């Protein structure tokens, strides 16, 4: 099955500075996003995330390369009609009410009045804005405006939803509400591509992620695949630990062993040291309670990628 988003060698140059020197902002990018998945596009500020999204939505043209949306060239109107988009800094007509704003968006897609009303009612319910639907937008909070922006991205019932930093500037309650809506969209079978630098939300939401650093795509894959190969340490818990064994463990551990109610906790750097510790424990008659690898978090992996690119 063809990916919903298929990018091949896409890159973008801008002319910057007084002398208008050509600067490459996005280096050749090749990436596929599968149907029905939530794909997180990660990177620090200035990495090229918004540039990529502007290329995908046709707001700017690529210097080289190509992209296809839903099996069609992204220049085709029929492809864009199936895409919903929420920019990072959307503009709202604050004298309109939420209902009027969504009605305007529906008119831009030439939706019949009955269909507009049905979709507006459903989207207001989905984004929990029913009670504020007839208030002017100048009275909306940041979180309410962000949810309204997501509602407008869905007014055309898109198969693909592209969101640029949808969690930016939201408080914990606002982020929770936005996450709930995104998960509901996935449950409906839609494909979601969103950029973010708020990593806890990405860990909760995403099936796969791509990490963009300095315009280069550094890593792509399922979260569990990216993180499972990176072990920070291994925690070994033992009972019936003799003084002699404790001395041996101190020589193998990253830090002094800790005595806890369920036994002695030993933190080891790698599997080689774990093997030595287990052999010593068995020889000393100790009881092994648990062996738990401590995986790196997405944040730790992300920081390694970012800092590694600067070396």
Give the torsion sign (CA, 91, 95, 97, 99).
negative
Overall average pLDDT of the 267-284 stretch: 89
C-alpha 213/C-alpha 257 separation (Å) is 38
Candidates 72, 74, 71; CA nearest to 58 is 74
Taking CA atoms, 165 is separated from 115, 171, 264, 274, in Å, by 29, 14, 44, 42
Query: Phi, psi at residue 237, to the nearest 5°?
Result: -115, 130
Between residues 2 and 64, the one the model is more confident about: 64
Between residues 91 and 230, the one the model is more confident about: 91
C-alpha 266/C-alpha 285 separation (Å) is 16
CB 124 within 8 A of CB 105: no
**Average per-residue pLDDT for the chain:** 90
User: Where residue 228 falls among pLDDT bands split at 50, 70, 90?
Assistant: low
Kindly report the number of other CB atoms within 10 A of residue 161's CB atom.
22
CB 161 within 8 A of CB 84: yes
C-alpha 231/C-alpha 291 separation (Å) is 13
Ranges of each domain in the chain: 5-227, 231-295
pLDDT for 201: 86
pLDDT for 230: 61
Chain segment 103-138, per-residue pLDDT in tens:
999 999 999 999 999 999 999 999 999 999 999 999
Write b or e for each residue in 9-47: b if 16 or more Cβ atoms lie within 10 A of its Cβ, otherwise e: ebbbeeeeeeeeeeeebbbbbebebeeebbbbbbbbeeb
Overall average pLDDT of the 263-288 stretch: 89
Between residues 238 and 308, the one the model is more confident about: 238
Share of the chain above pLDDT 70, in %: 96
User: Where residue 311 falls among pLDDT bands split at 50, 70, 90?
Assistant: very low
pLDDT for 93: 94
β-pair partners for 264: 238, 259
Q: Is 184 helix (H, G, I), strand (E, B) or coil?
A: helix
C-alpha 178/C-alpha 201 separation (Å) is 10
β-pair partners for 193: 39, 162
One DSSP character per residue, 239-293 reads ES--HHHHHHHHHHSSS--EEETTEEEEEESSHHHHHHHHHHHHHTT-EEEEEEE
Domains 5-227 and 231-295 share a fold: no
Overall average pLDDT of the 289-304 stretch: 77
Taking CA atoms, 147 is separated from 4, 86, 107, 169, 211, in Å, by 24, 10, 20, 12, 26
pLDDT for 150: 95
pLDDT for 229: 60
CATH architecture of 231-295: 2-Layer Sandwich (3.30)
Token pair 């791509």: residue: 210
Residue 231 above 80 pLDDT? no
Regarding the domain with residue range 5-227, which homologous superfamily does it belong to in the CATH classification? Answer: P-loop containing nucleotide triphosphate hydrolases (3.40.50.300)
pLDDT for 174: 85
Overall average pLDDT of the 23-42 stretch: 95
Chain segment 138-164, per-residue pLDDT in tens:
999 999 999 999 999 999 999 999 999
Does the pTM of the predicted model rise above 0.95?
no
User: Where residue 94 falls among pLDDT bands split at 50, 70, 90?
Assistant: very high
Chain segment 236-266, per-residue pLDDT in tens:
899 999 999 999 999 998 888 988 888 899 8
């Amino acid at each position: 099955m063809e990916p919903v988003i298929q990018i091949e060698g896409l890159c973008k140059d801008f002319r910057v500075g007084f002398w208008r020197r050509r600067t490459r902002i996005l280096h050749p990018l090749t990436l596929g996003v599968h149907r029905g998945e939530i794909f997180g596009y990660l990177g620090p500020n200035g990495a090229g995330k918004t540039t990529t999204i502007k290329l995908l939505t046709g707001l700017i043209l690529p210097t080289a390369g190509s992209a296809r949306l839903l099996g069609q060239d992204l220049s085709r109107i029929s492809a864009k009609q199936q895409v919903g988009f929420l920019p990072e800094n959307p503009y709202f007509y604050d004298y309109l009410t939420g209902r009027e704003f969504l009605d305007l968006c529906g008119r831009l897609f030439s939706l019949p009045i009955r269909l507009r009303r049905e979709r507006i009612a459903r989207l207001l319910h989905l984004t929990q804005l029913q009670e504020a639907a007839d208030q002017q937008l100048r009275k909306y909070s940041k979180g309410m405006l962000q949810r309204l922006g997501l509602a407008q991205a869905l007014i055309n019932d898109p198969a693909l939803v592209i969101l640029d930093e949808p969690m930016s500037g939201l408080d914990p309650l606002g982020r929770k509400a936005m996450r709930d809506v995104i998960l509901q969209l996935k449950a409906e079978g839609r494909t979601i591509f969103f950029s973010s630098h708020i990593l806890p939300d990405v860990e909760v939401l995403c099936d796969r992620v791509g990490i963009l650093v300095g315009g280069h795509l550094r890593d792509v894959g399922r979260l569990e695949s990216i993180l499972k190969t990176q072990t920070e340490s291994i925690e070994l818990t033992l009972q019936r630990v003799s003084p002699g064994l404790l001395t041996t463990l101190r020589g193998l551990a990253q830090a002094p062993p800790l005595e806890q109610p369920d036994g002695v906790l030993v933190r080891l750097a790698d599997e080689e040291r774990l093997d030595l510790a287990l052999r010593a424990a068995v020889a000393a008659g100790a009881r092994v309670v648990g062996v738990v690898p401590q995986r790196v978090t997405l944040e730790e992996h992300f920081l390694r990628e970012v800092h590694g690119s600067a070396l």
